[in-house]
A and B are shown apart, each in its own frame.
Chain A
Amino acid sequence: MAVITLHRKPLTFAERTYLPQVAAGLWTTFKHLLRPKETLEYPEQRPAIPPGYRGVPALVKDPHGREKCVSCQLCEFVCPPKAIRITPGAVPADQPERTHVEKAPQEFEIDMLRCIYCGLCQEVCPEEAIFLQNQYSMTGYSRAEMVNNKEKLYALGGTRPDAHYKWDKKKAAESAGGAHH
């Protein structure tokens, strides 16, 4: 292979003084002094979150404050980094109004050190119980602190104003006796 030697062009006198470049740089600086600010004073100032933003995943309750998750474990299955860990169980006996739902998570953990905010859990959920929130900042001093348990997840998620009430309809049909019985 032929070797091509490239010769650098010698600098002119003006270039060797560096003054034109310093002046050009200062000009850019002065220009920005007069323009409106591009940066935010984080954390005092926070950016506006666009709709559809994928922040921290959290569990939501229905407008009546009832748990929506039935621990079907589809989010655990679909989660690419395996951040979700669910311990399924039956609906606790102290919630007679929900026994017809039969199933609820005993524990629900999302490891935020693993989560990649892909939103597949929200997409796969058949009960619309898990949503990615607007919150993006998760900090902690230990690994254990970065694992959101069920309690934390419901605190983060709050309630969601949608009115499907799939299980209420089911219960109504049961008590009405449906078409038969």
Chain B
Amino acid sequence: MTQPAQTDLITVTIDGREIAVPKGTNMIEAARLLGIDIPHYCYHPKLSVAGNCRMCLVEMGMLAFDPATKQPVMDPASGKQKVNWMPKPVIACFTNAAPGLHIRTNTPLVRECREGVMEFLLINHPLDCPICDQAGECKLQEQATAYGRGYSRFIEQKNVKPKRTLLGPRVMLDDERCVLCSRCIRFSKEVAKDDVLGFVDRGSYSTLTCYPGRRLENNYSLNTVDICPVGALTSVDFRFKMRVWFLKQTPSIDTESSVGVNTTVWSREGVIYRITPRRNDAVNDTWMPDSGRELYKQVRAENRLTAALAAGQSATLDAALAAAAELLKSAASAVAVVGSGRSSVDEQFLTRKLAAALKAPAWIVGRAGEGDGILLSTDRNPNTRGALVTGLIKALPGPQLGELAAAIDAGKVTTVLAVNEDLAAAGLTAAQLAKVRVIYLGTHANATSAAAQVVLPALTVFEKSGAFINQQFRLQKFVTAVPGPAGVSDDLATLARLLVAVGGPKLGETATTLWPALAAEIPALASVSFAGIPDEGLPLDSKPWAGLRFGEGASLHFQPAAAT
């Protein structure tokens, strides 16, 4: 990725401190660079500017020039060029950097403006904080602490509006809490391209609503909940589940597709309560699809595998690994390995090593879905690129394991090691599954685990650390959010021990200890350590794979190679 050349830098002065910012930067962002917080509600860095909340009012001035001579007017007291301050405040979100622009954010006038705006916003705001899901991450609470009066001068009756309106299957609206910032409206229109929200009526009657006959049910609807600065929009799934201040945030990756949306997993005491997007300006901005937010439910699914099985009997992991190694070794060269585009880079590396030690061919299962052009791509494997980079596969995978099925029918393959893939779902018939001995490493029970001679339980993406390579060849890591079920060992440890058991080399059993081996063997990862992968991801060189025809179309920050 090349950074755009920053040629047009403009120097602005904020509270007497100068900073050079690119042309077009607004004053909220410029102040943020200086560590100065300008409170705001309606402004969002990834949406258009509406300028309706008036919370970001600041004092603005320009350097003075003599109108007749165009010469700078000097201030004799300081010896510097004079600044002409405007008599009225301006909104910082709609004020872009201009040469000689000065703003002041800490004057009595600015403070008075903020207090005035807060007082008006709180006039009709219900005292709902004890039952409001936004409490703890509410901008209104935060700004009230800084700029609220502490008591109300409003003696009239508060406005009454509908409190529990379902805007769609996943979003609940409380109109009384709404501050009419229009972030959700702008999001639906500009990002989700599903223009269903709008305000109706005027003044204090103003109400957020869907267009008649429409519902807010697109796959990005929950982003409106994230960007709502108050508790007006809440998630039906997360409603009344847990207070946000109890939740621990862990950076993770959405495994839905090869876009690799950055996420934050919110958990408390080993239980995940919600998943929200994590800002990454090169991948997903601040958005994520709704479908990815429900993936945490797989962690506590009923059909979760929690114990190793050998020949249908529950066994210790050691016994199951020994049984698996015995099966694999006794099959001589009639073994096939099915890896997964859902496994992390490290697991795919170990899978490749296993295939090499067993002299077995390796496949991964391709997953195609419909791309939505935003944050879901057609490749529904999060890590197809990882399988290419680690050398597990050479060509792009097909949706069906046709070659494997043919090899089984021909009797060339008698034993299959399936890593995190359901062979039945990938196109093998029950008859074909019955013909071979299957060793299955996976998270959930399915047709393959039922047919398998040895079942090794595995962890979900929320319970382990690793890295994926997304459609931009960006290496992004995820870390353990919650501990796995009791008795389930880390996938890397299981694979590394199986590798040793079948006579392969001894490699690291954790991401940290395994990565030196990856860096040594894989040219693309030569200078990478697991700890060294930055939060925003690490772009890798995609040239060695430029000849492959990837299926993804254009999405939010991605253009397919052919189109560029």
Bound-state CA distance A51–B127 (Å) is: 31
Q: Is the pair B160, A180 in contact by a Cβ cutoff of 8 Å?
A: yes
Q: Is the pair B160, A70 in contact by a Cβ cutoff of 8 Å?
A: no
Mask: chain A, 93-124; 1 = CB below 8 Å from B; 0 = not: 00000001111000000000000000000000
A176: chain B residues at CB < 8 Å are 160
Q: Is A49 an interface residue when CB atoms closer than 8 A count as contact?
A: no
B135: chain A residues at CB < 8 Å are 72
CB-nearest residue of chain B to A102: B131
Q: Is the pair B156, A103 in contact by a Cβ cutoff of 8 Å?
A: no
CB-nearest residue of chain A to B131: A103
15 contacts between A and B (CB under 8 A): A72-B131, A72-B135, A76-B246, A77-B246, A88-B240, A88-B241, A89-B240, A101-B131, A102-B131, A102-B163, A103-B131, A166-B127, A173-B157, A178-B160, A180-B159
B157: chain A residues at CB < 8 Å are 173, 178-179
Q: Is the pair A70, B204 in contact by a Cβ cutoff of 8 Å?
A: no
Q: Is the pair A71, B158 in contact by a Cβ cutoff of 8 Å?
A: no
Bound-state CA distance A127–B128 (Å) is: 11
Q: Is A73 an interface residue when CB atoms closer than 8 A count as contact?
A: yes
Bound-state CA distance A180–B160 (Å) is: 7
Q: Is the pair B240, A71 in contact by a Cβ cutoff of 8 Å?
A: yes
Given contacts A102-B164, A173-B158, 18 further A-B contacts (CB under 8 A): A70-B131, A71-B240, A72-B129, A72-B131, A73-B246, A76-B246, A77-B243, A88-B243, A90-B239, A102-B163, A103-B130, A103-B131, A174-B163, A176-B160, A177-B160, A179-B159, A180-B160, A181-B205
Q: Is the pair B243, A90 in contact by a Cβ cutoff of 8 Å?
A: no
Nearest Cβ on chain A to B398's Cβ, whole angstroms: 47
For window 26-77 of A, CB contacts with B under 8 Å fall at: 70-74, 76-77
Nearest Cβ on chain A to B266's Cβ, whole angstroms: 15
Q: Is B242 an interface residue when CB atoms closer than 8 A count as contact?
A: yes
Q: Is B161 an interface residue when CB atoms closer than 8 A count as contact?
A: yes
Q: Is B151 an interface residue when CB atoms closer than 8 A count as contact?
A: no
CB-nearest residue of chain A to B164: A102
Mask: chain A, 150-178; 1 = CB below 8 Å from B; 0 = not: 00000000000000001000100110111
Bound-state CA distance A166–B245 (Å) is: 25
Count A/B pairs, Cβ under 8 Å. Answer: 61
B243: chain A residues at CB < 8 Å are 72-73, 77, 88
B127: chain A residues at CB < 8 Å are 166
- Greatest chain A CB density within 10 A among B130, B135, B156, B159 is at B130
Q: Is the pair B241, A174 in contact by a Cβ cutoff of 8 Å?
A: no
Given A72-B243, A90-B240, CB of A127 within 8 Å of CB of B160: no
- Greatest chain B CB density within 10 A among A70, A88, A176 is at A88
Given A72-B135, A74-B130, A77-B246, CB of A103 within 8 Å of CB of B159: no
Q: Is A126 an interface residue when CB atoms closer than 8 A count as contact?
A: yes
CB-nearest residue of chain A to B243: A73
Q: Is the pair A127, B240 in contact by a Cβ cutoff of 8 Å?
A: no
Mask: chain B, 234-261; 1 = CB below 8 Å from A; 0 = not: 0000011111011000000000000000
Interface bin, chain A: 20 to 34
Mask: chain B, 52-87; 1 = CB below 8 Å from A; 0 = not: 000000000000000000000000000000000000
Which of A89, A126, A170, A180 meets B129, CB within 8 Å?
Answer: A126
CB-nearest residue of chain A to B239: A90
Bound-state CA distance A76–B136 (Å) is: 14
Q: Is the pair B131, A180 in contact by a Cβ cutoff of 8 Å?
A: no
CB-nearest residue of chain A to B135: A72
Q: Is the pair B158, A178 in contact by a Cβ cutoff of 8 Å?
A: yes
Q: Is the pair B159, A178 in contact by a Cβ cutoff of 8 Å?
A: yes
For window 151-199 of B, CB contacts with A under 8 Å fall at: 156-161, 163-164
B156: chain A residues at CB < 8 Å are 179
Mask: chain B, 95-133; 1 = CB below 8 Å from A; 0 = not: 000000000000000000000000000000011011100
CB-nearest residue of chain B to A177: B160
Bound-state CA distance A177–B131 (Å) is: 21
Nearest Cβ on chain B to A135's Cβ, whole angstroms: 27
A173: chain B residues at CB < 8 Å are 157-158, 160
B240: chain A residues at CB < 8 Å are 71, 88-90, 102-103
B131: chain A residues at CB < 8 Å are 70, 72, 101-103
Which of B126, B129, B158, B163 meets A179, CB within 8 Å?
Answer: B158
A181: chain B residues at CB < 8 Å are 160-161, 205
B204: chain A residues at CB < 8 Å are 179-180
Q: Is the pair B130, A126 in contact by a Cβ cutoff of 8 Å?
A: yes
CB-nearest residue of chain A to B241: A88
Which of B129, B130, B160, B239 meets A174, CB within 8 Å?
Answer: B160
Bound-state CA distance A76–B242 (Å) is: 11
B161: chain A residues at CB < 8 Å are 181
Which of A72, A100, A180 meets B163, CB within 8 Å?
Answer: A100
Mask: chain A, 115-153; 1 = CB below 8 Å from B; 0 = not: 000000000001100000000000000000000000000
Bound-state CA distance A102–B126 (Å) is: 14
A71: chain B residues at CB < 8 Å are 240
Bound-state CA distance A101–B132 (Å) is: 11
A170: chain B residues at CB < 8 Å are 126
Nearest Cβ on chain B to A181's Cβ, whole angstroms: 6
B163: chain A residues at CB < 8 Å are 100, 102, 174
Nearest Cβ on chain A to B246's Cβ, whole angstroms: 7
Nearest Cβ on chain A to B210's Cβ, whole angstroms: 19
Nearest Cβ on chain B to A174's Cβ, whole angstroms: 6
Nearest Cβ on chain A to B419's Cβ, whole angstroms: 38
Nearest Cβ on chain A to B232's Cβ, whole angstroms: 14
A74: chain B residues at CB < 8 Å are 130
Q: Is the pair B245, A127 in contact by a Cβ cutoff of 8 Å?
A: no
